[in-house]
A and B are shown apart, each in its own frame.
Chain A
């Protein structure tokens, strides 16, 4: 600031000038001086360079830091006690959904397939008329011949013997249960055996009435 004594009053204004913090009147004043003073123009340039340098320098330093677990550590310190179970469940569920979306979709798909396969199977199993021992025995097959007025119910008891009940479609009265007709549904067996397991009882032969046990 060798030559120009006017600089003395302007130098302190350069810092607010580059910050855009001067009043309009002051700014005009400074700019008028700058247009006539090379030194102060250089000073202003220095200030701008320094300001940028400071920002860049600190940004570089911050970039070296890994903030990955910063939030977690802060949160751990501000969370006084364990959050209620429901809350934790909700959070982990929502995080599961956020971060493991693909895994979840595929497992949901698997679950859906399982449901599609299992539900009809279970439904079939419960297809036994009430009071026929369906609770206690495994149902091998339930199939009615076309146009038949009776529906055969094939049950397998625990000791491996097979019972075939023929139930009238229209009215399945428990009274009939004591005297089941020996109606082996011959042509259906082939298909029934697809569902049957290794022990494959032959339905027709073994169908002694066992009403008493039921």
Chain B
């Protein structure tokens, strides 16, 4: 039943509105997830998601079939998010590009804290739920470009190749940004874990 993206795009170009409807339905959740991860605000994320699809429709003729449709869609989504953040003057997180300074982030809070607490207890522990809710807060501390890359990687599972094409940056930059974004999120979550442990008196494993 699933028609591939490019076939649907062709049909939309031929005037088939329902084909576009299918594309919207296919990607709405993921586009929203990216927007929410970027902006943290639910309503803004919803507006941006709709805006992204409207823009995609409007500029469909500019879409060259040489990359995948979703790459293009996410690029538009991320760009709108960044515009929104700029307009609000809250570019979010650390404005410093720390791509070159890998050492900065190696001051880890506690190695293995996340993995050991969550790894053994995979699906639906209360802790996981709690931390999952913390995620958006942690994301907000990550610089916008790093955030975008982390979200696209985790939500869409994009390969480094796709990420490099979507965001128009070299693969090496993809790798280092991901590394930094993860280190940052990790640090925040670990701190939260430690706080949690101190509070509840556990944590001397």
Contact = CB atoms under 8 A, between A and B. Distances in A.
Interface residues of A, number: 41
A59 interface: yes
Interface string B21-42: 1001100110011001100001
Given A15-B178, A46-B112, A75 B20 contact: yes
Contact of B17 (A19, A50, A75): A75
A42 B111 contact: yes
Interface residues of B, number: 57
Nearest to B150: A54
Contacts of A73: 50
Nearest to B111: A42
Contacts of B139: 54
B33 A12 contact: no
B132 interface: yes
A21 B153 CA distance: 12
Interface of A: 1, 8, 11-12, 15-16, 19, 21, 39, 42-62, 65, 67, 70-71, 73-75, 77-79, 83
17 contacts: A8-B106, A11-B106, A42-B116, A43-B108, A43-B111, A44-B115, A46-B113, A47-B182, A52-B118, A53-B118, A53-B128, A54-B151, A55-B154, A60-B129, A74-B50, A75-B21, A78-B17
Interface of B: 17, 20-21, 24-25, 28-29, 32-33, 36-37, 42, 46, 49-50, 53-54, 57-58, 102, 106, 108, 111-119, 122, 128-129, 131-136, 139, 150-151, 153-155, 159-160, 175-176, 178-179, 182, 185-186, 189-190
